[in-house]
Amino acid sequence: MLSSWRLAVEKFNSVRARVGVLGLGYAGLPLTCCFAEAGFETIGFDIDPRKIEKLQAGQSYIGHIPEQRIGRLVESRRLRASSDFALLRDCDAAIICVPTPLGEGRTPDLTYVVNTAKAVAEHLHRGQLVVLESTTYPGTTDEVLLPLFETSGLKAGEDYFLAFSPEREDPANASYSTQTIPKIVGGVTAACGAVAVAAYSKLVERVVPVSSARVAEAAKLLENIYRCVNIALINELKLLLERMEIDVWEVIAAAATKPFGFTPFYPGPGLGGHCIPVDPFYLTWKAQQFDFSTRFIELAGEINSAMPQHVVDRLTQGLNLQGKALNGARILLIGAAYKRNVEDVRESPAIRIIQLLHQRLARVSYHDPLVPRLQTRHLEQVLCSEDLCAQSVEAADAVVIVTDHSSVDYELILRHAKLVVDTHNVTAPYRKPSHQVVMA
- pLDDT digit string (tens) for 347-375? 999 999 999 999 999 999 999 999 999 99
Are residues 71 and 85 located together in one domain of the fold?
yes
SS3 202: coil
Listed in sequence order, the DSSP H helices in 43-188 are 49-56, 67-75, 111-122, 140, 146-150
Are residues 231 and 242 located together in one domain of the fold?
yes
Give the per-residue pLDDT at 173.
87
Q: Which residues contact 267 (CB under 8 A, 6 or more apart)?
A: 231, 234, 235, 237, 238, 248, 307, 423
Quick one: average pLDDT of 284-305?
Answer: 96
The domain boundary residue, chosen from 220, 254, 271: 220
pLDDT at 68 over 90: yes
Are residues 190 and 250 located together in one domain of the fold?
no
- Residue from 208, 87, 79, 185 nearest 133 by CA: 185
Q: Report yes or no: 186 and 146 within 8 Å, Cβ to Cβ.
A: no
Q: CB burial class (10 A; 0-12, 13-18, 19+) of residue 158?
A: middle
Give the per-residue pLDDT at 104.
86
Strand pairing report for 398-401 and 330-334:
parallel
Are residues 75 and 125 located together in one domain of the fold?
yes
Give the per-residue pLDDT at 294.
96
Torsion of CA 168, 171, 172, 173, to 10 degrees: -20
- Residue from 360, 108, 363, 328 nearest 217 by CA: 108
The domain boundary residue, chosen from 303, 331, 362: 303
Q: Which residues contact 130 (CB under 8 A, 6 or more apart)?
A: 93, 94, 95, 96, 120, 124, 145, 149, 160, 161, 162, 163
pLDDT in tens, 32-46: 999 999 999 999 999
Are residues 106 and 230 located together in one domain of the fold?
no
What separation in angstroms does the CA of 95 have from each of 17, 27, 252, 356, 372? 13, 11, 40, 40, 32
Q: Which residues on adjacent β-strands are paired with residue 223? A: none
The domain boundary residue, chosen from 303, 324, 344: 303
The b-or-e profile of 122-133 (16+ CB within 10 A means b, else e) is ebbeebbbbbbb
Q: Which residues contact 435 (CB under 8 A, 6 or more apart)?
A: 414, 417, 420, 427
Give the per-residue pLDDT at 10.
95
Quick one: average pLDDT of 29-33?
Answer: 97
pLDDT in tens, 228-244: 999 999 999 999 999 99
Q: What number of residues does the chain have?
A: 440
CATH code of the domain covering residue 410? 3.40.50.720
Are residues 21 and 94 located together in one domain of the fold?
yes
Are residues 295 and 318 located together in one domain of the fold?
no
Residues designated catalytic: 275
Percent pLDDT > 90 in the chain is: 93
Q: How many domains does the chain have?
A: 3
Q: Report yes or no: 8 and 195 within 8 Å, Cβ to Cβ.
A: yes
Quick one: average pLDDT of 80-86?
Answer: 96
Q: Say which DSSP state 143 is in.
A: I
Are residues 94 and 236 located together in one domain of the fold?
no
Are residues 216 and 228 located together in one domain of the fold?
no
Provide the pLDDT confidence category of residue 333 given band limits of 50, 70 and 90. very high
Are residues 298 and 369 located together in one domain of the fold?
no
The CA radius of gyration of the chain, in Å to the nearest whole number, is: 24
Quick one: average pLDDT of 266-292?
Answer: 93
Concatenating the DSSP letter of every residue in 20-64 gives EEE--STTHHHHHHHHHHTT-EEEEE-S-HHHHHHHHTT--SSTT
Give dist(CA 287, CA 307) in Å, integer. 26
Q: What DSSP element (H or E) covers 276? A: none
Report which residue type is found at 238.
K
Q: What is the mean pLDDT of the chain?
A: 96
Are residues 279 and 414 located together in one domain of the fold?
no
pLDDT at 1 over 60: no
pLDDT in tens, 178-237: 999 999 999 999 999 999 999 999 999 999 999 999 999 999 999 999 999 999 999 999
CATH code of the domain covering residue 288? 1.10.1040.10
Q: Which residue range is the domain that position 242 belongs to?
A: 221-303
Quick one: average pLDDT of 123-130?
Answer: 97
Quick one: average pLDDT of 43-66?
Answer: 95
Are residues 189 and 241 located together in one domain of the fold?
no
Q: Report yes or no: 62 and 48 within 8 Å, Cβ to Cβ.
A: no
Give dist(CA 103, CA 410) in Å, integer. 38
Give the per-residue pLDDT at 2.
63
